[in-house]
Amino acid sequence: MPELPEVENIKIGLKPNVINKTIINVEYSQKIIDAHLEGKRALVKDELNYFKENLIGKTILNLERRGKYVFFTLNNGYLITHFGMTGAYFVVTNIEEIENKNYFNHRHIIFSLSTGEKLVYSDIRRFGELRYLENLNNFKPFNTLAPEPFSEKSLEYFLEKLESKKYRNVPIKALLLEGNVFCGCGNIYACEVLYKEKIHPEKKASELTREEKTKIFKSLVKILEFSIEQGGSTISDFVHSDGGEGNMQNYLQIYGHKMCPLNHDTENIVIKTRSTYYCPKCQK
């Protein structure tokens, strides 16, 4: 968390509030300063002075999403953000406008804008990542990510990966979480699509027909599109840049449920270190 739909909604809500505004200062919480002094690059993956010096005076020209990342296009360079599990941005005039107490108490990076507003990055668990880049071509994760799931070439790319020697004997649930196989899918939506298609999460790619693989892909795209429309899933701490919550959690069929929609007991196993909800009766 957040996954593609949540990050897309962060982008949608944040974009009109930051375009054509200039960063005039960058401040860090004492926890981030202390962590860097100890040699731990918490949140900011650059040296703090380097990050600050390369952002001050830069104007935000655009805001886009790639997979689970958002990146601010500046008049010179880029600000890249991955939200980890609990990262969030807020645009406020006063810090007190952040009504969520968890995010208010864990505000770690404050970008002062030329309009008098503040772009605040909060992160409860501090697993997020922020960095300044002069060129996106130097950012390895973007070069290895699968095509965006809504692009025309994404389905063929997905099928080629699942049929390759490297991945054919890997469980399908694990493959859906691989960003270089499918871009933007996380644990929630992987569980949801496999339940919808009645496929056991431990089934290997080689055990699936091409038709089944195609159905998984198309169903997952539809689930992601619907989740974007619903504002994403607020399972624990995810909020939009205005503090609002998503609505997709009200439509989840299997994730976090003790029973499936057909009233069968669900099971929870670990695949690729992630809790995997499935129905042993529905999913074979």
Specify the CATH architecture of the domain 154-278: Orthogonal Bundle (1.10)
**Beta strand residue intervals within the chain, DSSP E:** 23-28, 60-66, 69-74, 78-82, 87-92, 107-113, 118-123, 129-133, 267-271, 274-278
pLDDT of residue 243: 53
Look at residue 217 and tell me whether its pLDDT is greater than 70. Answer: yes
Integer CA distances (angstroms), 104 to 88, 108, 124, 241, in order: 11, 9, 9, 13
Superfamily (CATH) of domain 4-144: MutM-like, N-terminal (3.20.190.10)
Range list for CATH 3.20.190.10 in the chain = 4-144
Q: Tell me which residues are annotated as active site.
A: 2-3, 68, 274
Q: What is the DSSP letter of 56?
A: T
Residue showing tokens 């694990």: 174
Range list for CATH 1.10.8.50 in the chain = 154-278
Look at residue 48 and tell me whether its pLDDT is greater than 70. Answer: yes
Q: Mind listing the pLDDT tens digit for each residue in 98-134?
A: 988 999 999 999 999 999 999 999 999 999 999 999 9
What is residue 209's three-state secondary structure?
Answer: coil
Look at residue 236 and tell me whether its pLDDT is greater than 80. Answer: no
